[in-house]
């Protein structure tokens, strides 16, 4: 009986601390507060600054969850190559197959984190210009497959970065 009472009092004390002093919480208070204030920010799924706008992700998405959105001001990624569009994912249509990520040339050709990921795109280690100067890591078959999905102008800036 004494053991039972001791357990009950310990439990009540611990719960009181958790409720009143916000002690021992597994989830972050900032996440809780953002939920309560309806200000949760969606996880980024596209990193525009790392994208070359090739549309490969758009072409492989099986559920048509990706839309290519025109940039108000096109960006010159490398001399003579303008990026004019970037993808946006509709997560209500996404089945999280990650075809978009795996096909993206930044990942499939250079082995770097793709600028598109349906769950969380993360942070890049390099700038896009640095990535494009890296040696190409993919075999010719991968480049040939990708050539069917993206414009030849894009393929040439990718393979132009090859250093072998």
Q: What is the largest CA-CA distance in the chain?
A: 82
Q: What is the dihedral of CA 88, 116, 85, 58, to 10 degrees?
A: -70
CA-to-CA separations, 82 to 19, 52, 78, in angstroms, rounded: 55, 8, 7
35 contacts ligand SF4 (rule: CB under 6 A): no
Nearer to ligand SF4, 13 or 96 (CB): 96
Tell which one of 54, 131, 138, 155 touches ligand SF4 (CB under 6 A): 54
Q: Strand, coil or helix: what is 72?
A: strand
For the window 102-141, what string marks contact with ligand SF4 as x by the rule CB under 6 A? --xxx-------xxx-x-----------------------
Span of 18-26, 36-44, 53-61, 136-144 interacting with ligand SF4 by CB under 6 A:
53-61
Q: Are 105 and 56 in contact (CB under 8 A)?
A: yes
Binding site for ligand SF4 (CB under 6 A): 51-57, 60-63, 65-66, 87, 89, 94-100, 104-106, 114-116, 118
């Amino acid at each position: 009986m004494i053991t039972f009472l001791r357990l009950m009092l310990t439990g009540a004390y611990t719960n009181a601390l958790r409720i009143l002093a916000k002690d021992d919480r597994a989830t972050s208070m900032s996440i809780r507060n953002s939920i309560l204030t309806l200000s949760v920010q969606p996880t980024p799924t596209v990193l525009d600054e790392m994208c070359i706008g090739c549309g490969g992700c758009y072409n492989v998405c099986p559920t048509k969850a990706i839309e290519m959105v025109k940039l108000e001001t096109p960006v010159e990624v490398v001399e003579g190559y303008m990026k004019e569009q970037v993808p946006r994912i509709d997560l209500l249509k996404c089945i999280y197959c990650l075809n978009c990520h795996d096909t993206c040339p930044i990942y499939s050709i250079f082995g770097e984190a793709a600028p598109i990921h349906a769950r969380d795109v993360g942070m890049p280690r390099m700038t896009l210009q640095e990535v494009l100067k890296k040696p190409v890591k993919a075999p010719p078959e991968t480049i040939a497959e990708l050539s069917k999905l993206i414009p030849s102008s894009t393929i040439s800036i990718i393979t132009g970065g090859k250093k072998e």
